[in-house]
Amino acid sequence: MSYYSPSIEKLIEAFERLPSIGHKTAVRLAFHMLDATEEETNEFISAITNAKKNLKYCSQCFNISDTDPCPICAGAKRDHNVICVVEDVRDIIAMERTHEFKGVYHVLHGSISPMNGIGPDDIKIKELLARIQANPEIKEIIVATNPRVEGEATAMYISKIIKTLGVKVTRIAHGIPVGGDLEYTDEVTLTKALEGRHEL
């Protein structure tokens, strides 16, 4: 049985449906919304509607962006002959934060996962191959899918095909995170760290 008025109840439920929001937080958010001024509420709602309306996929790299091509693909200072392949739009942000990568991206929007019925055709692999074939200047494809089973399978699949196109494919390194602890590193990571050792 609910003790709230129907409109409050619906608002609480709407917040509860969001990820990582439990009941108590949903109640707090709902009452925050009720207390908010009309201007604040309108600002919040228009942030959602504008995002839904304005954002589109970049036709080159499938990043989400207000513009097509996205600012990275449109960037004159970027090296358009090095493509970093990532699973998700958010992975681009993580890469950009390093300030190290000056190439462009390709977002797969997922990874090959037969368990979940996701095959190579369900993610943007065809589009990646088309991009590579359309640009004979391509120097390197860096596969930066997540170091999990699905990400590794996707990396293997992609690299196999791209190699047949005669293009260099690399994979980001696995190893112990900086600040990490050997003692607490799982054996798979440690094995990868050993395999990936380099001369000092």
* 154 close to 112: Cβ distance less than 8 angstroms: yes
32 binds a copy of itself (CB under 8 A): yes
Q: What is the distance in angstroms between the CA of the first residue and the CA of the last residue of the chain?
A: 67
Contact residue for a copy of itself among 69, 71, 122, 133 (CB under 8 A): 71
* 68 forms part of the interface with a copy of itself (CB under 8 A): no
Q: Which of 56, 168 has the CB closer to a copy of itself?
A: 56
92 is an interface residue for a copy of itself by CB under 8 A: yes
* CA distance linking residue 195 with residue 89, whole number of Å: 29
**Quick one: the chain helix, strand, coil %, rounded to 5?**
45, 15, 40
Interaction of residue 168 with a copy of itself, rule CB under 8 A: no
Binding of a copy of itself at residue 146 (CB under 8 A)?
Answer: no
What token pair was written down for 75? 């960037």
Distance (Å, whole) CA 60 – CA 73: 7
Which spans of this chain sit near a copy of itself (rule: CB under 8 A)?
3-8, 10-11, 13-14, 17-21, 25, 27-34, 38, 40-41, 43-45, 47-52, 54-55, 64-67, 70-71, 89-90, 92-93, 96-97
